[in-house]
Amino acid sequence: MEQLKATGSRKHLEDSEFYLIIADLLESEEVQHLKQFRHHIMTTRFQHCLNVAYYQYRLCRLLGLDAVSAARAGLLHDFYFYDTYEYTHSRPEVRHSKHHPELALENARKHFALNEKECDMIRKHMFPMTAELPGCAETWLITLVDKYCAVLEFVLPQPKRLKDAVRNRRRARVN
């Protein structure tokens, strides 16, 4: 089995309380299937959801909030099974950022038992794109953590991409 790490963290997650909280979700075929989908250009939907779950858990624990529900909702907040780019280009009338939280919640409810906080976090993690206000502090945090992780996932791999681009440019000059 591959070692799990959150982007930007050096900690191996398998030996943590965090892992025990989400282990049943991670073991499901449906959650593992998220590895098949590219997300935020530079990562997979699985890795993005793991990142959100981990940082949401850490922040909620630090603040004395419901870290267990936060971790589980973080892992399921983008629990949908389509390629975002293809989907939005084939259905221009559908706004993915507004539509996918309801779809993720519907999918999560089909496969897992969820409490009210988890449902609120999944349904409203795209606030203000979703009309309803977050119903709890954990939901306000996941809206921020989700954006933080998206930026982190895009920025951290950039040095390698930049290095590759410079190398390719040098090769082009030589030829």
pLDDT for 93-148, tens place per residue?
Answer: 555 566 789 999 999 999 999 999 999 999 999 998 887 899 999 999 999 999 99
**Which DSSP symbol is given to 80?**
-
Residue 73 or residue 164, greater confidence: 73
- pLDDT at position 167 is 66
Beta carbons within 8 Å of 90's beta carbon, 6+ residues apart:
none
- pLDDT at position 139 is 97
pLDDT-derived band of residue 46, with 50, 70 and 90 as boundaries? very high
Residue 32 or residue 165, greater confidence: 32
Query: Which whole number is the average pLDDT over 57-78?
Result: 97
Does the pLDDT value for residue 165 go beyond 80?
A: no
Does the pLDDT value for residue 174 go beyond 90?
A: no
Q: 77 and 146 in contact (C-beta within 8 Å)? A: yes
Q: 108 and 76 in contact (C-beta within 8 Å)? A: yes
Domains in the chain (CATH in brackets) are 13-174 (1.10.3210.10)
Cα–Cα distance, 31 to 80 (Å, whole number): 9
pTM, rounded to two decimals: 0.83
Task: Quote the percentage of the chain above a pLDDT of 70.
Answer: 76
Cα–Cα distance, 52 to 39 (Å, whole number): 13
Residues facing 39 on adjacent strands: 43
| Whole-number average pLDDT of the chain | 85
Strands 38-39 and 43-44: antiparallel
- pLDDT at position 86 is 59
- pLDDT at position 115 is 98
- pLDDT at position 89 is 54
Residues facing 155 on adjacent strands: none
Does the pLDDT value for residue 149 go beyond 90?
A: yes
